Chain A
Amino acid sequence: VSRALDLAERAVRTAEGDEADASVHVERSGFARFADSAVHQPTLVRDETVTLRVVRGGRVGCATTNRTDDDGLADAARRAGEAADSSPVDPGFPGLQEPAPVPEVEGYDEATAALTPEEQAEAAAATIAAAPGLGLYGYYTSGTAELAVASTTGHAVSQTTTDVSVLALAAADDASGYAEATSWRAADLDVAAVAEEAAEEALTGCSDEYRPPEGRELVEPREQLDVVLDGLAEADAGVQADVLLRDPRIDGEREALLQERLDLGDDVLIARVLLHRPRLAQHVHEAQVGACVGHDARKVRVAAEGGDIVDHHRAQLERPPGHGGLRGVDGDREALQPLQDGLDAAELLLSGDAFRARAGRLAADVHEGRALLDEAECKRHRRLRP
Chain B
Amino acid sequence: VHELAEHAIDAAVAAGAGYADARVVRRRAQHVATKNGEVDTVSDAETEGLGVRVLVDGAWGFAGDPRLSEEGARDAALRAVAFARASASRARRRVELAPVEPASGEYAAAVERDPVEVPLEEKIALCLAAEEGMRRPEVKITEASVRAQREERVFRSSEGGVARQQLVECGGGIDALAVSDDGRVQNRSYPSAHGGSSGQAGWEYVEGLGLDREAPRVGEEAAALLTAPACPAGVTTIVADAEQMVLQVHESVGHPTELDRVYGTEAAYAGTSFLRPGDLGSLRYGSAHMNVTADPTTPLGLGTFGWDDEGVPARRQPVVAGGILAGFLASRETSAQLGRDLGGSMRADNWSRMPLVRMTNLHLEPGEGTLEDLLADVDDGLFLSTNKSWSIDDKRLNFQFGTQVAWEIKKGKLGRMLRDPTYMGVTPEFWGGLDAVAGPEEWRLYGLTNCGKGQPGQHAHVSHGTAPARFRNVQVGVRQ
Contacts and interface: CB of A to CB of B under 8 A. Distances in A.
Interface in B75-112: 76, 79-80, 82-87, 90-93
B382 interface: no
A318 B393 contact: yes
A383 interface: no
Contacts of B61: 42, 44, 117
Contact of B41 (A35, A291, A317): A291
Contact of B38 (A63, A88, A325): A88
Chain A facing B: main interface SS = mixed
A342 B46 contact: no
Contacts of B87: 32, 38-40, 42, 121, 124
A194 to B, nearest CB: 13
B279 interface: no
A135 B392 CA distance: 23
Contacts of B43: 62, 64, 83, 290-292
B44 A83 contact: yes
B66 A38 contact: no
A341 B36 CA distance: 35
A33 interface: yes
A312 B459 CA distance: 11
B227 interface: no
Contact of B389 (A31, A44, A346): A346
A63 B140 CA distance: 30
B133 to A, nearest CB: 19
Interface in A45-70: 45-49, 61-68
B124 A35 contact: no
B452 A345 contact: no
Interface string B420-461: 001010000000000000000000000000101011110100
Interface stretch (A211-219, A229-237, A303-311): A303-311
Given A82-B120, A117-B86, A346-B389, A35 B39 contact: no
A345 B82 contact: no
B82 A117 contact: yes
Interface in A285-330: 290-293, 299, 302-303, 305-308, 310-312, 314-315, 317-320, 323, 325-326, 329
B398 A306 contact: no
B130 interface: no
Contacts of B59: 39
Contacts of A302: 33, 41
Contacts of A137: 264, 267-268
A195 interface: no
Given A64-B43, A65-B45, A311 B455 contact: no
B367 interface: no
A219 to B, nearest CB: 22
Nearest to B81: A117
Interface in A256-295: 258, 261-262, 290-293
Range class of the B interface residue count: 35 or more
B264 A36 contact: yes
A255 interface: yes
Nearest to B46: A65
A42 B60 contact: yes
A31 to B, nearest CB: 5
A44 B62 contact: yes
Interface residues of A, number: 94
B426 to A, nearest CB: 8
Contacts of A105: none
A128 B90 contact: yes
Contacts of A42: 60-62, 83-84, 86-87
Contact of B398 (A64, A75, A329): A329
Contacts of A104: none
Given A36-B265, A118-B86, A254 B391 contact: no
Interface string B389-402: 11111110110101
Interface string A59-97: 001111111100000011001101100111010000000
Contacts of B264: 35-36, 135, 137
B19 to A, nearest CB: 15
B119 A315 contact: no
Contacts of B356: 41
Given A42-B83, A137-B268, A344 B479 contact: no
Interface stretch (B166-174, B208-216, B269-277): B269-277
Nearest to B143: A302
Q: Interface centre among A35, A41, A258, A303, by most B CB within 10 Å?
A: A41
Interface in B1-60: 31, 33, 36, 38-49, 59-60
Given A35-B267, A255-B141, A312 B42 contact: no
A339 B271 contact: no
Contact of A329 (B33, B119, B274, B478): B274
A325 B91 contact: no
A41 B51 CA distance: 13
A159 interface: no
A75 B266 CA distance: 39
Given A33-B455, A121-B87, A169-B267, A255 B140 contact: yes
Contact of B90 (A39, A43, A317): A39
Contacts of B353: 43
Given A44-B63, A318-B394, A336-B393, A121 B42 contact: no
A87 B42 CA distance: 8
B64 interface: yes
B83 A44 contact: yes
B324 interface: no
A163 B315 CA distance: 42
A37 interface: yes
Contact of A333 (B82, B85, B398): B398
Nearest to A67: B48
Contacts of A292: 41-43
Contacts of B84: 42
B303 interface: no
A344 B83 contact: no
Interface of B: 31, 33, 36, 38-49, 59-66, 76, 79-80, 82-87, 90-93, 119-121, 124, 140-141, 177, 179, 185, 195, 233, 264-272, 274, 352-354, 356, 388-395, 397-398, 400, 402, 422, 424, 450, 452, 454-457, 459, 477-479
18 contacts: A35-B265, A35-B267, A41-B60, A45-B456, A61-B42, A63-B45, A82-B120, A86-B121, A87-B120, A88-B124, A117-B61, A120-B86, A139-B268, A258-B141, A299-B41, A307-B457, A325-B267, A332-B398
Q: Closest 4 CB pairs between A and B?
A: A311-B452, A308-B457, A344-B389, A86-B120
Interface of A: 30-33, 35-49, 61-68, 75-76, 79-80, 82-83, 86-88, 90, 116-118, 120-122, 124-125, 128, 135, 137-139, 141, 167, 169, 171, 251, 254-255, 258, 261-262, 290-293, 299, 302-303, 305-308, 310-312, 314-315, 317-320, 323, 325-326, 329, 332-333, 336, 339-342, 344-346
Given A32-B87, A128-B90, 4 more contacts: A37-B92, A44-B80, A302-B41, A329-B395
